[in-house]
């Protein structure tokens, strides 16, 4: 029961907020212009479904390419992090080698 009141309150709040925002002339004009533009786009793509299909396929392909690129970048970053993790032991080995090269042999 509490859930239905919450949902109803959210809907009422959103409706009241939208209605109040329409008192601003610039908001009202922009909303009308956006609505008209959206209506024109819907009408156009309803009449030209093939073009809409091509457009959607292009966007899906672009998203796939972007995902692959991001995946490659993440893999490169992970490899570099692994290299940096190995760096301290490499440096330590170099320091030990340098110490042994410059240290005098023990006289017994």
Which tens digit of pLDDT belongs to each residue from 65-100?
999 999 999 999 999 888 888 888 888 888 888 888
What pTM was estimated for this model as a whole? Answer: 0.50
C-alpha to C-alpha distance for 38 and 25, rounded to whole angstroms: 20
Contacts of 22 (CB under 8 A, 6+ apart): 28, 31
Do residues 22 and 31 touch, judged by C-beta distance below 8 A? yes
* Number of other CB atoms surrounding residue 27 within 10 Å: 13
For 100, what's the count of Cα atoms within 13 Å in the CB-facing half-sphere? 6
Work out the pLDDT band at 58, boundaries 50, 70, 90.
very high
Whether the predicted pLDDT of 29 surpasses 90: yes
Check residue 2 and give its pLDDT: 55
HSE at residue 94, side-chain half, CA atoms within 13 A, is 6
């Amino acid at each position: 029961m509490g859930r239905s009141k919450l949902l109803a309150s959210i809907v009422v709040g959103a409706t009241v907020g939208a209605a109040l925002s329409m008192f601003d002339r610039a908001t009202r004009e922009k909303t009308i212009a956006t609505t008209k533009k959206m209506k024109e786009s819907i009408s156009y793509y309803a009449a030209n479904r093939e073009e809409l299909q091509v457009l959607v396929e292009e966007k899906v392909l672009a998203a796939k390419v972007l995902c692959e690129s991001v995946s490659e970048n993440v893999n490169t970053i992970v490899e570099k992090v692994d290299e940096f993790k190995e760096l301290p032991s490499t440096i330590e080995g170099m320091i030990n080698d340098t110490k042994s090269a410059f240290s005098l042999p023990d006289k017994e």
